[in-house]
Chains A and B, each alone.
Chain A
Amino acid sequence: MSVDQASLGHVRAGAVEKAKPIISFRNVVKTFGTTVAVDDVSLDIEAGDFFALLGPSGCGKTTLLRMLAGLEVPTNGQILIDGVDMGTTPPNKRPVNMVFQSYAVFPHMTVRDNVGYGLRMDGVPKDLRAERVREALELVQLGALGGRRPDQLSGGQRQRVALARALVKKPKVLLLDEPLSALDAKLREAMRFELSQLQQTVGITFIMVTHDQNEALAIASQIAVMNKGSISQIGKPADLYEFPASRFVADFIGSVNMLEGRLTKDEPSEAIVACPELAPFPVHMPHAVPGNVGAPVWIAIRPEKMNLHKNSVEPPQAPECPSAHNVARGVIKEISYLGDISIYHVAIASGRMLRVSRPNRSRWDQEGFDWGETVWVSWAGSSPIALLS
């Protein structure tokens, strides 16, 4: 149901005839003792995608990845890789390879031996092996460090070894378990770009597990958001951000002002929601929303889609909607200056705090807002997202 709702809002999903998926999870369940780690997940991943499994810790995303690698065995359900049911196929017989969170670079082998390990296990002849190892090391820009031992490498270099070691086997799918979490912030940014470049170069499907929504939005072409063992929503990064299907997704990806209300009018070209916290002004949207008139509904508005106005007697006119809608008056309680943007915490009449963000376009903000100032907040009719769950 929730997925249907998302497709209301965006045109691209489902428009193209789906190709045969490279990975299929079918009703996969995994329990550890009495805890359910993965709860009846069905998911198709298409070849060539950079797919991210995103969710808070303990949501089952890593378990899903490990089941794909064969490191955990599903309690129930099927996993297909390129159309073949993996059943209880052991990890060493699966056409996927993994980059571990700790990288798991063998400390007693040189970089070259690490990268060549998988080929040696496959019985690749020595000279061919050397050639492929050299290629793989060049691919990750470690050409000169083949003779080093892992303890002589930096964290970033160790990660490249882990990448080369997995890619050299030419897997059908590369699995990455929190690949960037062990790197420092600057290096992490650089590696995001590199990872997606690398994926385009080798053309292999990448599946990445991450708890960092920025990372997933920046790199992935498709994202599955997971929560408590189930998939909440699947989509392209922008779709998930702009058209979240549930409060969980809206809240987990980016930040959001979430307001509870009741649907008072729902017509093809107009919907109105009354939120007690925004009273007396209702929320107006120039399109129909799911749900029945009179039913409770949640309104989510992103901070950057709200505007600030200097105080005036009459409320300002919000774009794309009738007057006295989509506005609220309040006092700025706090300003977080973040450099590129500033975040304003505005306490409105009901006591509710709204987060509004504004880009700092000018070095001298002409229209600067100040602590304690009374302001109007407004948003366009297209900004609110109406959510049922």
Chain B
Amino acid sequence: MALPVSKSRLTFWVTALPPLIWVVVFFLAPLAIVWAYSFGVNKGLTEVDISGTFANYARAIEPLYLEIFVKSIVVAALTTLLCLIIGFPVALAIVFASARWRPWMLMLVMLPFWTNLLDRTYALIAVLREQGFANFTYKWLWDQTSGIMALIGLAPLTDWQPMHLLYNNFAVILGLVYVHLPFMVLPLYAALDRLDRSLIEASLDLGAGHMRTMFSVVVPLALPGIISGIIITFVPALGAYLTPDLMGGPDSQMIANVIERQFKRANDWPFGAALSFLLLYATFFMIALRAVLARGSRLEAGHGI
């Protein structure tokens, strides 16, 4: 099927060179420079001396930054877990929807995925802010309850206080779940769709209830897809910049925010470069893990996307 290069040398080079050169010049070279900077020291305002020092990496694992790293991982993991719990029934519902409903449900999941990230974050902020819809609804319920209590002779509730739903860790996780849910649902859907329905029916027929069937048949067989979903969600959540920046408080910075600060404000590029590469290594580790796990499971049922 695939040809050796010698068959049509000219065609090969004419077609291969443009993308190759582009990737090398505009992608690999910039990354390589950042990598080199991570072993350098700042000299003056714009000068970086690449001295081969590991000082930037040493600084990155100081408690202050290590804590942010650990926190980013915890936040991303929590986001992933919530997406899995929320998304699994949704994926299941799409798989078992009738042919008429299925494309619409898929579209409903895809649509936010296509909508601008900034738009979605902004929409969520508008809901959660102190004069937002969430607090507005809360106030209304509070006032009604208070009124009813007064009506039946109880002391009315105290003065209403808005909930602080924004600029804290809760907001960051909520925002990340909001943004990343489609990342989880789509690979889960792909895996569950490939599952032979008669396996579920056989399990029910043999005396297992729905929950036992889920955990003893559906989950093990969809495991490659679930792992794919976890990693596809975890990786961008770990490197998230916008959500913690716009929705987080002073203590909810994630690693990407620290990197941005080194490049845009603190002007400590070597240190920022080291942090970037630590994030990149973590990402590669997750992707390699997925490949290993995918190879490990010899099951044919669903390899995710």
- Asked if A376 lies at the interface with its beta carbon under 8 angstroms from chain B, I say no
- Of B198, B206, B207, B209, chain A has the most CB atoms within 10 Å of the CB of B206
- Of A96, A108, A169, chain B has the most CB atoms within 10 Å of the CB of A108
Taking a contact as CB atoms under 8 Å apart, the answer to whether A107 and B301 are in contact is yes
Partner of A92, one of B196, B205, B220: B205
- Asked if A100 lies at the interface with its beta carbon under 8 angstroms from chain B, I say yes
Q: Which residues of B sit under 8 angstroms from A104, Cβ to Cβ?
A: 196, 198-199, 201-202
- Interface positions of B from 209 to 237, Cβ below 8 Å from A: 209, 212, 216-217, 220-221
Taking a contact as CB atoms under 8 Å apart, the answer to whether B206 and A169 are in contact is yes
Stretch among A117-125, A127-135, A260-268 lining the B interface = A117-125
Report how far A96 CA is from B220 CA in the complex, Å. 26
- Interface positions of A from 46 to 90, Cβ below 8 Å from B: 69-71, 90
Taking a contact as CB atoms under 8 Å apart, the answer to whether B205 and A107 are in contact is no
- Asked if B204 lies at the interface with its beta carbon under 8 angstroms from chain A, I say yes
Taking a contact as CB atoms under 8 Å apart, the answer to whether A121 and B201 are in contact is no
- Asked if A386 lies at the interface with its beta carbon under 8 angstroms from chain B, I say no
1/0 per residue A215-243: CB within 8 Å of B? Answer: 00000000000000000000000000000
Taking a contact as CB atoms under 8 Å apart, the answer to whether A102 and B198 are in contact is yes
- Asked if B62 lies at the interface with its beta carbon under 8 angstroms from chain A, I say no
- Asked if B208 lies at the interface with its beta carbon under 8 angstroms from chain A, I say yes
- Asked if A97 lies at the interface with its beta carbon under 8 angstroms from chain B, I say yes
Taking a contact as CB atoms under 8 Å apart, the answer to whether B204 and A71 are in contact is yes
- Asked if A307 lies at the interface with its beta carbon under 8 angstroms from chain B, I say no
Partner of B207, one of A101, A108, A122, A151: A122
Taking a contact as CB atoms under 8 Å apart, the answer to whether A106 and B202 are in contact is yes
Q: Which residues of A sit under 8 angstroms from B149, Cβ to Cβ?
A: none
Report how far A97 CA is from B207 CA in the complex, Å. 9
Taking a contact as CB atoms under 8 Å apart, the answer to whether A92 and B198 are in contact is no
- Interface positions of A from 288 to 332, Cβ below 8 Å from B: none
Nearest chain B CB to A133 CB, angstrom units: 13
Nearest chain A CB to B35 CB, angstrom units: 42
* Chain B residues touching A, majority SS: helix
- Asked if A355 lies at the interface with its beta carbon under 8 angstroms from chain B, I say no
Report how far A13 CA is from B212 CA in the complex, Å. 46
Taking a contact as CB atoms under 8 Å apart, the answer to whether A92 and B206 are in contact is yes
Report how far A97 CA is from B206 CA in the complex, Å. 7
Partner of A108, one of B204, B212, B221: B221
Nearest chain B CB to A174 CB, angstrom units: 11
Q: Which residues of A sit under 8 angstroms from B203, Cβ to Cβ?
A: 106, 117
For chain B, the count of residues having a C-beta within 8 Å of the partner chain is: 21
- Asked if A165 lies at the interface with its beta carbon under 8 angstroms from chain B, I say yes
Taking a contact as CB atoms under 8 Å apart, the answer to whether B299 and A108 are in contact is yes
For chain A, the count of residues having a C-beta within 8 Å of the partner chain is: 25
Nearest chain B CB to A21 CB, angstrom units: 22
Q: Which residues of A sit under 8 angstroms from B216, Cβ to Cβ?
A: 117
Taking a contact as CB atoms under 8 Å apart, the answer to whether A102 and B196 are in contact is yes
Taking a contact as CB atoms under 8 Å apart, the answer to whether B208 and A121 are in contact is yes
Q: A107-B301, A108-B221 are in contact. Are A100 and B202 (CB under 8 A)?
A: yes
Nearest chain A CB to B204 CB, angstrom units: 4
1/0 per residue B140-169: CB within 8 Å of A? Answer: 000000000000000000000000000000
Nearest chain A CB to B159 CB, angstrom units: 52
Q: Which residues of B sit under 8 angstroms from A69, Cβ to Cβ?
A: 201, 205
Taking a contact as CB atoms under 8 Å apart, the answer to whether A169 and B201 are in contact is no
- Interface positions of A from 92 to 114, Cβ below 8 Å from B: 92-93, 96-98, 100-102, 104, 106-108
Report how far A104 CA is from B199 CA in the complex, Å. 5
A93 nearest CB neighbor, chain B only: B207
Taking a contact as CB atoms under 8 Å apart, the answer to whether A97 and B300 are in contact is no
Q: A101-B198, A102-B196, A102-B198 are in contact. Are A107 and B299 (CB under 8 A)?
A: yes
Q: Which residues of A sit under 8 angstroms from B300, Cβ to Cβ?
A: 107, 151
Q: A92-B207, A92-B208, A118-B206 are in contact. Are A106 and B217 (CB under 8 A)?
A: yes
Report how far A104 CA is from B221 CA in the complex, Å. 13
Q: Which residues of B sit under 8 angstroms from A118, Cβ to Cβ?
A: 206-207
Q: Which residues of B sit under 8 angstroms from A166, Cβ to Cβ?
A: 205-206
Taking a contact as CB atoms under 8 Å apart, the answer to whether A92 and B221 are in contact is no
- Asked if A155 lies at the interface with its beta carbon under 8 angstroms from chain B, I say no
Taking a contact as CB atoms under 8 Å apart, the answer to whether A121 and B206 are in contact is yes
Nearest chain B CB to A182 CB, angstrom units: 12
Report how far A122 CA is from B207 CA in the complex, Å. 7
Q: Which residues of B sit under 8 angstroms from A165, Cβ to Cβ?
A: 202, 206
Q: Which residues of A sit under 8 angstroms from B196, Cβ to Cβ?
A: 102, 104
Q: A107-B221, A108-B221 are in contact. Are A100 and B206 (CB under 8 A)?
A: no
Nearest chain B CB to A238 CB, angstrom units: 33
Nearest chain B CB to A257 CB, angstrom units: 41
Report how far A211 CA is from B65 CA in the complex, Å. 70
Taking a contact as CB atoms under 8 Å apart, the answer to whether A71 and B201 are in contact is yes
Q: Which residues of A sit under 8 angstroms from B217, Cβ to Cβ?
A: 106
Report how far A348 CA is from B140 CA in the complex, Å. 91
1/0 per residue B165-209: CB within 8 Å of A? Answer: 000000000000000000000000000000010110111111111
Partner of B209, one of A71, A92, A100: A92
Q: Which residues of B sit under 8 angstroms from A107, Cβ to Cβ?
A: 199, 221, 299-301
- Asked if A156 lies at the interface with its beta carbon under 8 angstroms from chain B, I say no
- Asked if A9 lies at the interface with its beta carbon under 8 angstroms from chain B, I say no
Nearest chain B CB to A177 CB, angstrom units: 9
Report how far A122 CA is from B206 CA in the complex, Å. 9
7 example contacts (A-B, Cβ-Cβ < 8 A) are as follows A71-B204, A91-B201, A106-B199, A106-B202, A151-B298, A165-B202, A166-B205
Residues of A within 8 A of B (CB): 69-71, 90-93, 96-98, 100-102, 104, 106-108, 117-118, 121-122, 151, 165-166, 169
Q: Which 6 A-B pairs have the closest CB atoms?
A: A118-B206, A121-B207, A104-B202, A104-B198, A91-B204, A100-B198
